[in-house]
Amino acid sequence: MSDTKTRDRLLDEAEILFSERGYEAVTIRDIAAAAEANLAAVNYHFHGKEALYHEVLRRRVVPKRDMLLAALDGVAAEPDRQLKLEHLFRAFICVHLDDALRSRGGEKGMRLLSREMSDPRQGAHVVVRELIQPVRARVLGLMGELLPELGDREHQLLMGTLAGQVIHFAMNWHNMKAHAAIQEPGPCAPMPAIADDLETYITTVIDHITTITVAGAEAMRKEAVAS
């Protein structure tokens, strides 16, 4: 196996293990065994478990950041304020759902990032620095331009609402499929499916979150103007 293939294999297997077990529960020996590589290969390519973990995170978040920033840059050309606001939210939603639901390894990546951000330890700074901070700055900058009547606190609340909806519906697709595979009856009836196929699900969710968030933003703007 070439050095490049070994490195990629270590990253692939490490991502699976970290997403399933968490950083603390995974050893270098586990990763090397899963990648069918020598134990020394981890130190040779990454100089240790922590640096490998950071590279696993970076490999997942940097392409997502670049796609988000490119999509947000495309919003700037729209002259109409309300359409621009809609396009801002839609761009943010589309990239996140595409990454989580369509991309190779999207489910593993979502579990990995969710685990890290819910229990920040060795890699939270990588996620924050490489993904969250630059994207948040761009989104808040556009919100400031499009919703100048709102203060920074309201912009932060609006962005949190947007991100929370995206995370919920991205996770819901995977959870819905997992629950459907369980045949054991339970005390509660399962939630009805939003859509049976992925593309219909994504389209429905994008339209829904965009409509709700635009309406909420406009309501907040009108309330701010009235006061």
**pTM (global) more than 0.85:** yes
Residue 83 to residue 161: CA distance in whole angstroms: 19
Distance between CA atoms of 37 and 96, rounded to whole angstroms? Answer: 33
Label residue 221 exposed, middle or buried (CB < 10 Å: 0-12, 13-18, 19+). middle
Question: pLDDT category, 117, cuts 50, 70, 90?
Answer: confident
3-class DSSP state of 118: helix
User: What CATH architecture applies to the domain 66-226?
Assistant: Orthogonal Bundle (1.10)
* 3-class SS letters over 24-65: CCCCHHHHHHHCCCCCHHHHHHHCCHHHHHHHHHHHHHHHHH
The string of pLDDT tens digits covering residues 55-110 is 999 999 999 999 999 999 999 888 899 999 999 999 999 999 999 999 888 888 88
Residue 182 has pLDDT above 60, yes or no: no
Between the alpha carbon of residue 148 and those of residues 73, 155, 226, 227, the distances in Å are 19, 9, 14, 14
Residue range 1-47, CATH number: 1.10.10.60
Paired tokens of 206: 């994008």
Q: What is the pLDDT of residue 179?
A: 58
CA distances from 125 to 151, 159, 160, 166, 192 (A): 27, 20, 19, 22, 38
pLDDT at 174: 78
Q: Which residue shows structure tokens 């990032």? A: 113
Tell me the pLDDT band of 18, cut-offs 50, 70 and 90: very high
DSSP for 157-182?
HHHHHHHHHHHHHHHHHHHHHHHHT-
